[in-house]
Amino acid sequence: MTAIITARELEQALAGERPPVLLDVRWQLSTAAAAGAPPFDGRSEYAAGHIPGAVFVDLDRELAAPPGPRGRHPLPDVAEFGAAMRRAGVRAGAPVVTYDGGQGWAAARAWWLLRWTGHEDVRVLDGGLAAWRGPLSTGVEEAAEGDFLPVPGAIGLLDADGAAALAREGLLLDARAAERYRGDVEPVDRVGGHIPGAVSAPTTDNVAEDGTFRPAAELAARFEKLGAARASRVGGVGVYCGSGVSAAHEVLALELAGVPAALYAGSWSEWSRDEERPVERGA
């Protein structure tokens, strides 16, 4: 079983004997609010139209702790995350499919958290809601209470010191846009640039024009060129981004390519808050 599912495969699974729990995780990073425009409202988008049976999951409130020293989207309290997943109907051993509006970042964050806390049967809808051709439901749906009990540690997680060490001894990939990596612009965090030794690898390069992931062979070739094969044999591979959301999407791409990778959840928003930590700029 791969970590993604096509819209056609999902349609068949929903009609099968073990339909998956559907998590709608629509979210987007936006600086619109700072300019006076209303922020993106994923809950309203969900209510206006979602895949039948899906339950809305709020990334900012249920897949992250409040912003602070650990970054803009720190990992949620494990007990609170487990409660949120049970409210959404997640059950131990039962399949789960996460999706968002099409970018894939938020869905990947939910996928990563479930995998990290021990759920083994989780997939992301490839291409998100934009790829879905079936009917949509409106309003708000509630699921029967699940029984999932999270146990963290099933896949790799990095702190700031671990990310710095991996940049020296293995391969640390920066999943943000190249201009943010270089420090040309920084629309969100305190300062621009990147963790010294990190390699620029925008996660947007992992998908085709329609938002679906590139074939596994293409992804494997991309990450091999970036040094992932060698690093896997030495220090390992890690990924960070601005706040641990788009980096989860790159961890997913690496899994499709057959490369295990750890997530630096605090990412640049945690790293750049500490003025004692070094910042590198340029290509």
Q: What is the pLDDT of residues 83-109, one digit of tens each?
A: 999 999 999 999 999 999 999 999 999
Pick among 3.40.250.10, 2.30.40.10, 2.60.420.10, 3.40.109.10: CATH of 4-131: 3.40.250.10
14-61 pLDDT, tens digit per residue, is: 999 999 999 999 998 764 444 555 778 999 999 999 999 999 999 999
The average pLDDT across 72-80 equals 98
Q: Are strands 262-264 and 157-158 parallel, antiparallel or unpaired?
A: parallel
pTM exceeds 0.85: yes
pLDDT for res 33: 41
Integer angstrom CA distances of residue 124 from 17, 83, 165, 179, 192: 20, 21, 30, 28, 31
Q: 126 pLDDT exceeds 50? A: yes
Q: Is the pLDDT of residue 171 over 50?
A: yes
> Annotated active-site positions, please?
241
Domain span(s) for CATH 3.40.250.10 in the chain:
4-131, 157-271
Residue 266 CA to residue 240 CA, distance in Å, equals 8
Contact residues for 182 (Cβ-Cβ < 8 A; gap 6+): 192, 193, 194, 200, 281, 282, 283
Sign of CA dihedral 156, 160, 161, 165: positive
User: What pLDDT, on the 0 to 100 scale, is given for residue 30?
Assistant: 62
| Domain 157-271 grouped into CATH 1.20.120.10 | no
What is the predicted pLDDT for the residue at 29?
78
**Residue-level pLDDT at 62:** 98
Q: Is the pLDDT of residue 229 over 70?
A: yes
Q: Distance between CA 190 and CA 175 in Å, rounded? A: 18
CA atoms within 13 A on the CB side of 228: 26
Q: Nearest to residue 118, comparing CAs of 145, 157, 88?
A: 157
How far is it, in rounded angstroms, from Cα 59 to Cα 107?
9
Per DSSP, what are the bridge partners of residue 56? 24
**Average pLDDT of the segment spanning 142-161:** 97
Q: What is the mean pLDDT of residues 246-265?
A: 98
Q: What is the mean pLDDT of residues 126-145?
A: 96
d(CA 140, CA 43) in angstroms, rounded, equals 9
Average pLDDT over residues 236-255: 98
Q: What's the mean per-residue pLDDT of the chain? A: 95
Q: Do residues 51 and 24 make contact, with C-beta atoms less than 8 angstroms apart?
A: yes
Residue 154: predicted pLDDT: 97
